[in-house]
């Protein structure tokens, strides 16, 4: 029987609205510090809420211009540069892998506001549409990866799906290293879209609380190096965690609403654990999608309860959405970064706005406070429009 390779996470970079850089990001998340604030990159006067997870840095506005660095590229650059420094692999080193260095990237909208600029400025204005999709060649040029390049746009499950694809590629020996990540910036497209769905919270989102009322849209990026475990150890790399499995599903229920029974999510979590060759009882923690919408959170807790029904154990469950908002296609990558760092430190991230836990949550499942824990395995879940579901399993690094 062919031996499959172990997959190590060896570099990390984060650009988030509550902390720039992975260390500041984790400290803010562990301390319950939110990056949700009044939006300044575009007018929110006509929206249900003015509160967005905006990065408070000198970045381009949400418009896409024909030349120069767009907002999403600026955010990607900040996270990529930290990832390369942290991994010990600069552009030249990644280029040295030749076609053995691949890219797996997830995004919902990327440069899509270029379409709005094109429409608003008049169809005769050139230079906008041709730059809507140029983030991928830009990404390849910035990091130096010469091999396969994959962009996943499975809506808000995009970057978790990208991480699962990268896991498969490394495990099965299709590439040597993979630059993995996700990013989205604040866009008028997303803001007005979720406004029209009446899905925005009028204040700050409150995942898994009985009084939850919707989402805050955020922005950010996180990037990682995934590589073969033996190669990582041979080059003396710091190993943050080991990716052990991934499950993908589609509940085929509704264009925007998840299956209330949670069948797609349950299938994805079970698939990730089968691939990891562990039972649900060995999972101590779950990073939930936790949007703070009435339908999602109820469904998600129900699916988790079904997964653990015969185990006699209750996992802790958290969501970063109250801390950084819903960062669209980039959310899964940012959540993976937060939970890998929390696992390394054996800590539980808080749900800072939680006051009245959802009735279906088991005792000890949810907490508004950060706390220490002993954990070996973690699941990180993402759900999305069109029924897309992704779940990635990872474990604490042990030689």
Q: Which is nearest to 14 in space by CA: 242, 393, 349, 324?
A: 324
- Strands 377-383 and 347-348: what pairing? unpaired
Q: What is the mean pLDDT of residues 152-158?
A: 92
Q: Which is nearest to 340 in space by CA: 375, 306, 310?
A: 375
User: Has residue 1 been placed in a domain?
Assistant: no
- Strands 220-228 and 149-152: what pairing? unpaired
Q: Which is nearest to 17 in space by CA: 40, 46, 1?
A: 40
**Which residue did the predictor score with more confidence, 135 or 28?**
28
Task: With a cut of 70, say whether residue 128 has pLDDT above it.
Answer: no
Distances (CA, A) of 45 to 39, 51, 189, 192, 211: 10, 11, 15, 11, 25
Last residue of a domain, one of 199, 215, 234: 234
Considering the domain architecture, whether residues 229 and 369 belong to the same structural domain is answered as no
User: Has residue 360 been placed in a domain?
Assistant: yes
Q: What is the mean pLDDT of residues 111-132?
A: 64
Considering the domain architecture, whether residues 260 and 374 belong to the same structural domain is answered as yes
Integer Cα distance of 203 and 214 in angstroms: 9
Last residue of a domain, one of 234, 261, 279: 234
326 is catalytic: yes
Cβ contact 220:53 at 8 Å: yes
| Mean pLDDT taken over the chain | 92
Q: What is the mean pLDDT of residues 191-202?
A: 92
Q: What is the mean pLDDT of residues 378-390?
A: 95
Integer Cα distance of 265 and 250 in angstroms: 8
Considering the domain architecture, whether residues 194 and 225 belong to the same structural domain is answered as yes
Integer Cα distance of 35 and 25 in angstroms: 10
User: Has residue 2 been placed in a domain?
Assistant: no
Between 61-70, 247-256, 350-359, the lowest mean confidence (pLDDT) is in 61-70
| Helix (H) or strand (E) segment spanning residue 278 | none
> Which residues does 278 contact at the CB level (< 8 Å), separation at least 6?
244, 377, 393
Distances (CA, A) of 210 to 225, 332, 358: 38, 24, 5
Task: With a cut of 50, say whether residue 204 has pLDDT above it.
Answer: yes
Residue 124: phi, psi to the nearest 5? -85, -5
386 secondary structure, DSSP code: G
Considering the domain architecture, whether residues 259 and 221 belong to the same structural domain is answered as no
User: Has residue 239 been placed in a domain?
Assistant: no
Q: What is the mean pLDDT of residues 119-125?
A: 62
195 is catalytic: no
Packing angle of the helix pair 135-143, 71-87 (nearest 10 deg): 20
Considering the domain architecture, whether residues 19 and 136 belong to the same structural domain is answered as yes
User: Has residue 173 been placed in a domain?
Assistant: yes
Task: With a cut of 70, say whether residue 127 has pLDDT above it.
Answer: no
Q: What is the mean pLDDT of residues 109-115?
A: 72
Tens of pLDDT, residues 225-253: 999 999 999 999 999 999 999 999 998 88
Give the active site residue among 156, 175, 205, 327: 156
Confidence band, pLDDT 50/70/90 cuts, at residue 38: very high
Confidence band, pLDDT 50/70/90 cuts, at residue 1: very low
Task: With a cut of 50, say whether residue 199 has pLDDT above it.
Answer: yes
Q: What is the mean pLDDT of residues 89-112?
A: 92
Task: With a cut of 70, say whether residue 124 has pLDDT above it.
Answer: no
User: Has residue 91 been placed in a domain?
Assistant: yes
Give the active site residue among 143, 175, 289, 327: 289
User: Has residue 36 been placed in a domain?
Assistant: yes
Considering the domain architecture, whether residues 34 and 86 belong to the same structural domain is answered as yes
Confidence band, pLDDT 50/70/90 cuts, at residue 129: low
Considering the domain architecture, whether residues 282 and 167 belong to the same structural domain is answered as no
Task: With a cut of 90, say whether residue 119 has pLDDT above it.
Answer: no
3-state DSSP: the chain helix, strand, coil percent, rounded to 5? 35, 20, 40
Number of domains observed in the structure of the chain: 2
CATH number at residue 257: 3.40.47.10
Integer Cα distance of 214 and 227 in angstroms: 37
Residue 330: which domain range? 245-396
Integer Cα distance of 277 and 377 in angstroms: 11
Integer Cα distance of 224 and 217 in angstroms: 23
């Amino acid at each position: 029987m062919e031996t499959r390779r172990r997959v190590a996470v060896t570099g990390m970079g984060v650009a988030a609205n509550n902390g720039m850089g992975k260390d500041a990001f984790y400290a803010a998340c562990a301390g319950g510090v939110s990056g949700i604030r009044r939006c300044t990159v575009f007018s929110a006067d006509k929206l249900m809420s003015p509160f967005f997870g905006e990065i408070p840095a000198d970045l381009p506005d949400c418009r896409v211009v024909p030349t120069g660095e767009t907002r999403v590229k600026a955010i990607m650059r900040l996270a990529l540069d930290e990832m390369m420094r942290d991994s010990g692999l600069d552009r030249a080193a990644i280029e040295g892998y030749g076609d053995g260095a691949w890219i797996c990237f997830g995004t919902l909208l990327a440069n899509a506001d270029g379409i709005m600029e094109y429409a608003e400025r008049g169809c005769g204005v050139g230079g906008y549409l041709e730059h809507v999709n140029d983030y991928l060649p830009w990404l390849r040029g910035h990091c130096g990866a010469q091999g396969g390049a994959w962009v996943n746009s499975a809506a808000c499950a995009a970057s978790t799906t990208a991480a699962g694809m990268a896991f498969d590629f490394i495990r099965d020996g299709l590439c040597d290293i993979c630059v993995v990540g996700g990013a989205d910036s604040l866009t008028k497209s997303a803001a007005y879209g979720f406004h029209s769905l009446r899905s925005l919270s009028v204040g700050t989102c409150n995942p898994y609380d009985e009084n939850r009322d919707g989402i805050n849209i955020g922005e950010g990026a996180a990037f990682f190096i995934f590589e073969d475990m033996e190669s990582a150890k041979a080059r003396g790399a710091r190993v943050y965690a080991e990716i052990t499995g991934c499950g993908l599903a589609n509940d085929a229920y509704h264009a925007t609403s998840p299956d209330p029974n949670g069948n797609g999510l349950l299938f994805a979590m079970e698939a990730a654990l089968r691939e990891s060759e562990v039972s649900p009882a060995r999972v101590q923690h779950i990073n939930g999608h936790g949007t703070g919408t009435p339908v999602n959170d109820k469904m998600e807790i129900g699916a988790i309860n079904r997964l653990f029904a015969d185990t006699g154990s209750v996992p802790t469950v958290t969501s970063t959405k109250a801390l950084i908002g819903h960062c669209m296609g980039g959310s899964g990558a940012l959540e993976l970064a937060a939970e890998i760092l929390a696992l390394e430190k054996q800590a539980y991230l808080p749900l800072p706005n939680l006051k009245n836990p959802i009735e279906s949550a088991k005792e000890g499942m949810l907490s508004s406070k950060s706390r220490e824990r002993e954990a070996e395995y973690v699941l990180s879940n993402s759900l999305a429009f069109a029924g897309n579901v992704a779940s990635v399993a990872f474990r604490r690094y042990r030689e």
